[in-house]
Amino acid sequence: MAGREHLWAPWRMQMIRAPKEPGCFLCQKAAEDQDAENLVLERGRTCMCLMNLYPYSNGHLMVAPYRHTGEFTSLSDEEVAEMMTMARGWVGDLQKVGSPQGFNLGLNLGTAAGAGVADHVHLHIVPRWRGDTNFMTVLAEARVINQALEETRAELLRIRAGR
């Protein structure tokens, strides 16, 4: 397809192939009472929203159920509904903070689909801007994230508090 844009992130393969710490980082963050340090933005009844430590772009968030499962089909109606409702709210807040021109929302189910964490379902929210895939990624295997994660978190929480 001519004119199709791709979001390349070759550095993520290093993260995917790296030895895994024991346990599930999503479960660990859910169990801890350190939301600022863990970059957790919201806790609902069945799901939480947190910032991605390995972002594709500035403001890359994840929504995950608290329940540890890698099977999307095992999620309850309540979990799916809260996951999507939470994602919708954060897309709105990201629009106010960074004025992205688009979004990718997606689930990578299984390692063959690119899931870095295949045993805990999570929904990615990736803000996009025209031209956000540039030479830095290809030539230098570098990401250009224009704001510290903690600053982005603070801005998002300010927007959320003002609703």
Q: Tell me which residues are annotated as active site.
A: 122
Is 145 within 8 Å of 55 (Cβ atoms)? yes
d(CA 52, CA 34): 16
Q: Which amino acid is at 50?
A: L
The answer to whether the CB of 33 falls within 8 A of the CB of 68 is no
| DSSP classification of residue 20 | P
Strands (E), the chain: 40-43, 47-51, 61-65, 102-107, 123-128
Structure tokens at 89: 């709210």
The C-alpha atoms of residue 66 and residue 69 are separated, in whole angstroms, by: 9
Quick one: DSSP state of residue 56? S
Q: State the Cα angle at 120 between 119 and 125, rounded to 5°.
A: 130
